[in-house]
Amino acid sequence: MTAIVGIFRQEDQVMEGIRQLREAGAESADIRVVVGNRESAPLLGSSSDVNLEELREIQATRRREHGDEWVAGVAPLSAYPAANMAAGNTGPGVIVAADDDGSNDTGAVLAAIGIPDRFCERCADAIDNGHYLLVVDDGREIGAQRILNRAGASEPD
């Protein structure tokens, strides 16, 4: 997977980025949005076409299910909603991931859900400041970074 990440300040810019990506040939399964909490993204959260991942929910679930212990690569099937593994926000999925130090801070959780390590620090700062991440698997080579920039994204590195 060639992960391309765009950081957006406004929800409508994310929606525009998704629209442009889809027009360029990206599949729904190739696009996901990461937010700090769903309440800060009412448009994205209400769209069945958006694969939305909520960091606060993932963190809370990890604390509830695993406490301070996080077993590498193991999670109960109901552990996390993984919109990128199902169509839209309606289907359940599983994120089976591990972070090396077992921490539950934003950067570690981003790494655990597949954000490339080189982007995690900047993306964690963005999420902690209420911004949105639009993550695209550009395996189809549609020029995702150019599309994200045109929609108003800043690059994470």
Predicted pLDDT at 2: 79
Secondary structure (3-state) at 27? coil
- Give me the pLDDT at residue 138, please: 84
Sequence spans of domains, the chain: 3-151
- Looking only at the bridges linking them, the beta strands covering 52-54 and 31-35 are parallel
Give pLDDT, residue 103: 55
Dihedral of CA 91/135/74/36: which sign? negative
Give the pLDDT score at 122: 95
pTM over 0.85, yes/no: no
pLDDT tens per residue across all 157 residues of the chain:
678 999 999 999 999 999 999 999 999 999 999 999 999 999 999 998 899 999 988 888 877 766 555 443 434 333 434 333 333 333 333 333 333 344 568 898 999 888 999 999 999 999 999 999 999 998 888 999 999 999 999 988 7
- Beta-carbon contacts of residue 38 (< 8 Å; ≥ 6 apart): 45, 52, 54, 57
Half-sphere exposure of 136 (CA within 13 A, CB side): 30
